[in-house]
């Protein structure tokens, strides 16, 4: 599993990138991992276990310096002292080019959101939206998602867990699946109301993708699910960042109108 601190250090050192923040929570305790595995009914996938053991939640946000948004803004706030749950978009306004915000283990691998015992840095009362619990048109009919059948759409939604955030109010949801070590991550379309079983990735594979692309936001992020090709599970971060900048120059140009 890639060390996300190495990613943050490489971003901070690059002359063309402004690293807004890089905050890391301490690794999950053995007891927390054991409880998550008990809730899941299976051992965590080795890469997921390694990730949470190293950092039980993290937040990395960055922006291309050549963008009009960066050039036209004032970014003098010391983000290193901001609360971990702070939404920098509320402060700075424009969207970041890259964002990796992964929730702590205790907020993801839980049987019910009501089971959260302590206040989370990510404010789970906000993360678990009401419309995730109940569809717009509740139905008692069985709900099909891929090869799985749920008692109803409401029952299906009750098994969804926020895993990360990649824009102001959007994230990807993990399907809490009993007995599955490497759960499924969903990419949601149409404001999270269209559940497409074809647009999914194993959770560990998604972590590799966001690391390999430094959390690039917007259209490229959604392409992970449409083109789920495997990426290297290990790579030299500095070499990859130089390659990444060259690959995504069109993205920065698009945003600056060049």
pLDDT bin (cut points 50, 70, 90) of residue 231 is: confident
Residues 55, 42: Cα–Cα separation, whole Å: 21
Of the candidates 126, 194, 212, 196, the one whose C-alpha atom is nearest the C-alpha of residue 162 is: 126
Q: Which of 46, 61, 44, 45 is nearest to 7 (CA)?
A: 61
Q: Is the four-CA dihedral 213, 42, 192, 168 of positive or negative sign?
A: negative
The predicted pLDDT at position 119 comes to 60
The answer to whether 66 touches 10, Cβ cutoff 8 Å, is: no
Least confident of 3-12, 163-172, 210-219, 242-251: 163-172
The residue-averaged pLDDT of 154-178 equals 77
pLDDT for residue 148 is more than 50: yes
CA distance 127 to 104: 12
Alpha helices in the chain (DSSP H): 4-13, 30-40, 46-54, 68-71, 88-92, 105-108, 124-127, 130-133, 153-157, 203-212, 219-226, 237-247, 249-256
> Given a cut of 60, is residue 220 above it in pLDDT?
yes
Say which range, 47-56, 65-74, 219-228, 231-240, has the weakest mean pLDDT.
65-74
pLDDT digits (tens, 9 = 90+) for 76-87: 555 555 555 555
- Looking at residue 23, its pLDDT comes to 87
Q: How much is the pTM?
A: 0.84
Better-predicted residue by pLDDT, 113 or 248:
248
> How far is CA 108 from each of CA 32, 39, 167, 206, 210, rounded to the nearest angstrom?
12, 10, 18, 15, 18
**pLDDT confidence of 34, banded at 50, 70, 90?**
very high
Q: Is the pLDDT of residue 163 over 60?
A: yes
Mean pLDDT (whole number) for 60-86: 66
What are the φ/ψ torsions at residue 61 (nearest 5 degrees)?
Answer: -140, 135
Query: pLDDT higher for 226 or 118?
Result: 226
CB-count exposure of residue 56 (10 Å: 0-12, 13-18, 19+): buried
Which pLDDT belongs to residue 257? 42
């Amino acid at each position: 599993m890639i060390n996300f601190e190495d990613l943050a250090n490489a971003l901070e050192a690059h002359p063309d990138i402004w690293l807004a923040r890089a905050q890391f929570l301490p690794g999950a305790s053995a007891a927390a991992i054991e409880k998550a595995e008990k809730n899941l009914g299976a051992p965590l996938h080795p890469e997921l276990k390694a990730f949470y053991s190293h950092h039980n939640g993290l937040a990395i946000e960055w922006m291309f310096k050549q963008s009009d948004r960066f050039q036209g803004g004032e970014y003098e706030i010391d983000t290193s002292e901001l609360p971990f749950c702070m939404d920098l978009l509320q402060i700075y306004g424009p969207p970041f080019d890259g964002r990796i915000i992964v929730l702590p283990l205790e907020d993801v691998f839980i049987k019910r959101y009501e089971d959260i015992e302590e206040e989370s840095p990510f404010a789970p009362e906000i993360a678990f939206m009401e419309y995730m619990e109940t569809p717009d048109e509740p139905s008692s009919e069985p709900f099909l998602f891929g090869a799985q059948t749920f008692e109803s759409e409401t029952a299906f939604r009750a098994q969804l867990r926020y895993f990360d955030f990649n824009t102001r109010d959007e994230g990807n949801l993990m399907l809490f699946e009993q007995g599955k070590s490497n759960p499924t991550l969903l990419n949601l379309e149409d404001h999270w109301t269209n559940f497409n079983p074809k647009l999914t990735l194993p959770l560990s594979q998604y972590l590799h993708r966001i690391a390999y692309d430094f959390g690039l936001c917007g259209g490229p992020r959604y392409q992970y699910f449409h083109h789920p090709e495997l990426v290297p599970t290990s790579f030299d971060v500095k070499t990859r960042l130089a390659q990444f900048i060259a690959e995504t120059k069109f993205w920065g140009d698009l945003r600056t109108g060049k």
